[in-house]
Amino acid sequence: MDVQKRFELVKRNTAEIVTEEELKDVLKKKKPPVAYLGTAITGRPHIGYFAWVLKMADLMNAGFKVKILLADLHGALDNCPWDILDKRFKYYKKIIPLMFKALDVDLSKLEFVKGSDYELSKDYCFDILKMSSLASVRDCKKAASQVVKNVEGEGAKLSGLIYPIMQTLDEEYLGVDMQVGATDQRKIFMFARENHPKMNRKPRIGLMVPMIPGLVGKKMSSSDAGSKIDLLDSPEVVEKKVKNAECVAGNPDNGLMAFLKYVIMTLKLDDKQNFIIERDEKYGGNLEYKTYGEVEKDFISKKLHPLDLKNAVAKEINDLLSLIQKNKKELEKLSREAY
Q: Looking at 23-31, 47-55, 131-139, 177-185, which segment touches a second copy (CB under 8 A)?
A: 131-139
Which backbone phi and psi does 35 adopt, to 5 degrees?
-135, 155
CB count in 10 Å sphere of residue 297: 14
Interaction between residue 10 and a second copy (CB under 8 A): no
**SS3 at position 78:** coil
In this structure, what DSSP letter does residue 150 have?
A: -
Among 14, 61, 132, 291, which residue interacts with a second copy (rule: CB under 8 A)? Answer: 132
Residue numbers 23-62 binding a second copy by CB under 8 A: none
d(CA 228, CA 224): 7
Q: Quick check: 267 and 292 in contact, CB under 8 A?
A: no
Residue numbers 156-215 binding a second copy by CB under 8 A: 156-162, 165
CB closer to a second copy, 157 vs 243: 157
Residues sharing a CB contact under 8 Å with residue 88, sequence separation 6 or more, in sequence order: 41, 42, 72, 75, 80, 338, 339
Interaction between residue 155 and a second copy (CB under 8 A): yes
Residue numbers 303-332 binding a second copy by CB under 8 A: none
- Rounded to the nearest whole angstrom, what is the least distance from the CB of residue 38 to a second copy in the complex? 16
- Rounded to the nearest whole angstrom, what is the least distance from the CB of residue 269 to a second copy in the complex? 43
Q: Is 81 exposed, middle or buried, given 0-12, 13-18 or 19+ CB atoms closer than 10 A?
A: exposed
CB closer to a second copy, 31 vs 122: 122
Interaction between residue 225 and a second copy (CB under 8 A): no
Q: Looking at 91-99, 120-128, 205-213, 303-311, which segment touches a second copy (CB under 8 A)?
A: 120-128
CB closer to a second copy, 77 vs 99: 77
Interaction between residue 122 and a second copy (CB under 8 A): yes
- Residues in contact with a second copy, total (CB under 8 A)? 34
CB count in 10 Å sphere of residue 114: 17
Closest CA to 303 of 321, 314, 289: 289
Among 2, 31, 108, 129, which residue interacts with a second copy (rule: CB under 8 A)? Answer: 129
Among 2, 154, 271, 280, which residue interacts with a second copy (rule: CB under 8 A)? Answer: 154
Among 14, 79, 286, 311, which residue interacts with a second copy (rule: CB under 8 A)? Answer: 79
Q: Quick check: 93 and 112 in contact, CB under 8 A?
A: yes
Q: Looking at 31-39, 115-123, 208-216, 294-302, which segment touches a second copy (CB under 8 A)?
A: 115-123
d(CA 103, CA 99): 7
Q: Using alpha carbons, list the distances in angstroms from residue 6 to 23, 108, 167, 255.
A: 10, 21, 26, 28
By the criterion CB under 8 A, which residues form the site for a second copy?
A: 73, 76-77, 79, 82, 120-122, 124-126, 128-130, 132-138, 140-141, 151, 154-162, 165
